[in-house]
């Protein structure tokens, strides 16, 4: 590892991230909320100074074109961690404790949606910031920089796949810079369409923007203390549509938009499985709500598909207090939380592609018992999956559940509550948001947890957003060999 390259890359990232704080300052001016200018100006100033000081200290580096993969992984991890830390500064001005500020900011930037807010008596600027950080984090701050900044053009490949490793490296345009730009075009277009549809169906501009930011990003923060409870069915179905596609591959959506052919979606194996699980689980939950919760037919269908989509895309919005639902309904929701979203999406979780590969690996191994001399190639569509991708998938899933088990065990012990420990950890590492139970459920919050529990969950949110790989690389001794 070359510390000067690492520091230079980090300084570039933080330098451009400091410009993000201009947006909430503008929002504060629009709403006449002049008391909110100082918090965001301070955060932007601290971020910019950090970048400038590093640039002054660093010698012998004026480009990151030859950055190596390990350095890229480390740099991306640092950028995300410090983006969360600098994003927490404004919260301190509103009376948040340091751990609560870090928790809320991390939940925002990782598009998790778990909140510590016990009341919602804050200015609009802060609620805008919460949703805006989710929108930035949903697609990825490094992906944004690669798309618009020339400094990241050549080194973009290492940074792109460090931020969004996924089970496969799907580079669908000749240059990574073009890929990043294409992703952000689809992402921005979906956001704009979401805002317009929400506004034309009864939401005011502010709520339309905040909910669009949080739905397209798979985030889940809402300016309301009851999320979407009480919203019209039309609003719920609009958000259901955008949450569903937030959990679908944006690479795939780009092809659909460029070729104007929606049938491309169903030619993709991962999307077919994602769609089938959502459809089956939605119908199953609708039947459970109709039978056990006394919902009528329309509300059973609406709330079932909204909550299944919210959980599967790891958004975390709620249209009802599902903590009060029957055991069967909650079990169905928990199952789709584990399933997760698609690769190259804004959603979190293990990802459907990895479950497909795990199933195919298991099927191949069972077949080998009967045919020990046979050679079985595992394919996705027409393409054979390389063995290194299969090994990475097995490693990912193993470490995912290992981290989940360890984190869940310690949080359960600290909080003396297994439901909080298990569902809180699943929610954090899957970037989902609410857990189960009254404390951290859909209408609850994480404020009542111990400081050490919040710290564990903050780490889990970062691990889930970066999909473990950059995190695990940090523990390789070869990376720490200074050159």
Encode pLDDT of 187-246 as tens digits: 899 999 999 999 999 999 999 999 999 999 999 999 999 999 999 999 999 999 999 999
* Model confidence band, residue 391 (pLDDT cutoffs 50, 70, 90): confident
Encode pLDDT of 302-331 as tens digits: 999 999 999 999 999 999 999 889 999 999
Report yes or no: 218 and 111 within 8 Å, Cβ to Cβ. Answer: yes
Calculate ∠ Cα 441-421-442, nearest 5°.
Answer: 10
Q: Quick check: 414 pLDDT over 50?
A: yes
Question: Whose structure tokens read 């690996």?
Answer: 361
Q: What percent of the chain has pLDDT over 70?
A: 88
Q: What percent of the chain has pLDDT over 90?
A: 62
Question: How would you class 179 by CB atoms within 10 Å of its CB: exposed for 0-12, middle for 13-18, buried for 19 or more?
Answer: buried
Q: Quick check: 418 pLDDT over 60?
A: yes
Q: Which of 304, 313, 298 is nearest to 280 (CA)?
A: 304
| Three-class secondary structure of residue 29 per DSSP | helix
pTM: 0.91
Q: Quick check: 289 pLDDT over 70?
A: yes
Q: What is the mean pLDDT of residues 469-482?
A: 69
Choose the most confident range, by mean pLDDT, from 166-180, 232-246, 357-371. 232-246
Q: Say what the pLDDT of residue 384 is.
A: 86
Indicate the average pLDDT of the chain.
87
Q: Say what the pLDDT of residue 467 is.
A: 79
Residue 375, C-beta contacts closer than 8 angstroms, at least 6 positions apart: none
- CA–CA dist 160, 153 (Å, integer): 10
Please indicate whether residue 289 or residue 370 has the higher confidence score (pLDDT): 289
All structural domains of the chain with their residue ranges: 388-480
* Model confidence band, residue 141 (pLDDT cutoffs 50, 70, 90): low
Q: What is the mean pLDDT of residues 355-359?
A: 93
Q: Quick check: 479 pLDDT over 90?
A: no
Q: Say what the pLDDT of residue 393 is.
A: 87
Q: Quick check: 406 pLDDT over 50?
A: yes
* Model confidence band, residue 408 (pLDDT cutoffs 50, 70, 90): very high
- CA–CA dist 333, 312 (Å, integer): 8
Q: Which of 306, 304, 276 is nearest to 292 (CA)?
A: 304
Report yes or no: 219 and 138 within 8 Å, Cβ to Cβ. Answer: yes
Residue 302, C-beta contacts closer than 8 angstroms, at least 6 positions apart: 233, 236, 237, 319
Q: What is the mean pLDDT of residues 246-258?
A: 89
Q: What is the mean pLDDT of residues 366-376?
A: 85
Q: Which of 257, 225, 35 is nearest to 125 (CA)?
A: 35
Q: Quick check: 167 pLDDT over 80?
A: no
Q: Which of 340, 299, 297 is nearest to 316 (CA)?
A: 340
Report yes or no: 426 and 440 within 8 Å, Cβ to Cβ. Answer: no
- CA–CA dist 206, 228 (Å, integer): 15
* Model confidence band, residue 148 (pLDDT cutoffs 50, 70, 90): very low
Q: Say what the pLDDT of residue 483 is.
A: 63
* Range scoring the smallest mean pLDDT among 138-142, 219-223, 260-264, 346-350: 138-142
Please indicate whether residue 468 or residue 50 has the higher confidence score (pLDDT): 50
Encode pLDDT of 64-119 as tens digits: 666 777 777 777 888 889 999 999 999 999 999 999 999 999 999 999 999 999 99
Report yes or no: 108 and 219 within 8 Å, Cβ to Cβ. Answer: yes
Q: Say what the pLDDT of residue 169 is.
A: 45
Encode pLDDT of 116-136 as tens digits: 999 999 999 999 999 999 999
Tokens read off for 418? 């297994």
Q: Quick check: 165 pLDDT over 70?
A: no
Q: Say what the pLDDT of residue 57 is.
A: 85
Q: Say what the pLDDT of residue 173 is.
A: 45
Residue 320, C-beta contacts closer than 8 angstroms, at least 6 positions apart: 229, 303, 307, 442
Q: Residue 465: enclosing H or E segment and its boundaries?
A: helix 451-465
């Amino acid at each position: 590892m070359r510390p000067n390259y690492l520091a230079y890359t980090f300084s570039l990232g933080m330098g451009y991230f400091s410009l993000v704080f201009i947006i909430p300052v503008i929002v504060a001016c629009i709403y006449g909320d002049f008391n909110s200018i100082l918090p965001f100006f301070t955060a932007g100033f601290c971020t910019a100074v950090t970048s400038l000081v590093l640039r002054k200290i660093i010698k012998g580096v004026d480009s990151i074109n030859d950055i190596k993969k390990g350095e890229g992984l480390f740099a991306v991890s640092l950028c995300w961690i410090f983006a969360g830390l600098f994003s927490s500064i404004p919260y301190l001005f509103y009376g948040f404790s340091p751990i609560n500020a870090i928790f809320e900011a991390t939940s925002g930037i990782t598009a998790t949606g778990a909140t510590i807010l016990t009341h919602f008596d804050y200015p609009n600027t802060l609620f805008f910031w919460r949703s805006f950080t989710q929108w930035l984090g949903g697609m990825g701050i490094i992906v944004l920089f690669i798309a618009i900044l020339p400094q990241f053009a050549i080194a973009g490949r290492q940074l792109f796949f460090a931020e969004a490793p996924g089970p496969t490296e799907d580079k669908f345009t000749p240059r990574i810079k073009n890929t990043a730009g294409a992703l952000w075009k689809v992402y921005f277009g979906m956001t704009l369409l979401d805002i317009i549809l929400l506004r034309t169906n009864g939401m005011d501009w502010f709520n339309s923007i905040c909910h669009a930011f949080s739905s397209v990003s798979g985030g889940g923060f809402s300016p309301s203390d009851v999320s979407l409870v009480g919203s019209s069915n039309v609003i719920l179905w609009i958000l259901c549509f955008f949450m569903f596609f937030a959990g679908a591959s944006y690479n795939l959506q780009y092809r659909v938009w460029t070729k104007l052919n929606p049938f491309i979606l169903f030619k993709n194996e991962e999307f077919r499985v994602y769609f089938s699980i959502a459809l089956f689980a939605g119908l199953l939950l609708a039947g459970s709500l109709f039978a056990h919760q006394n919902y009528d037919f329309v509300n059973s269908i609406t709330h079932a598909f909204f909550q299944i989509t919210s959980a599967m895309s790891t958004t975390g919005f709620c249209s009802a207090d599902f903590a009060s639902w029957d055991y069967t309904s909650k079990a169905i929701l928990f199952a789709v939380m584990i399933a997760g979203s698609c690769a190259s999406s804004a959603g979190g979780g293990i990802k459907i592609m990895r479950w497909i590969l795990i199933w195919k690996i298991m099927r191949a191994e069972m077949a080998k018992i009967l045919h020990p001399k046979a050679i079985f190639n595992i394919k996705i569509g027409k393409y054979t999956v390389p063995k290194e991708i299969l090994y990475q998938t097995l490693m990912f899933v193993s470490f995912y559940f290992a981290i989940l088990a360890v984190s869940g065990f310690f949080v359960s012990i600290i909080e003396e509550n297994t439901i909080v420990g298990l569902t809180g950890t699943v929610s954090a590492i899957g970037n989902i948001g609410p857990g189960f139970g009254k404390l951290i459920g859909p209408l609850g919050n994480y404020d009542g947890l111990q400081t050490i529990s919040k710290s564990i969950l903050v780490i889990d949110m970062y691990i889930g957003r970066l999909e473990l790989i950059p995190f695990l690389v940090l523990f390789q001794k070869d990376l720490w060999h200074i050159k």
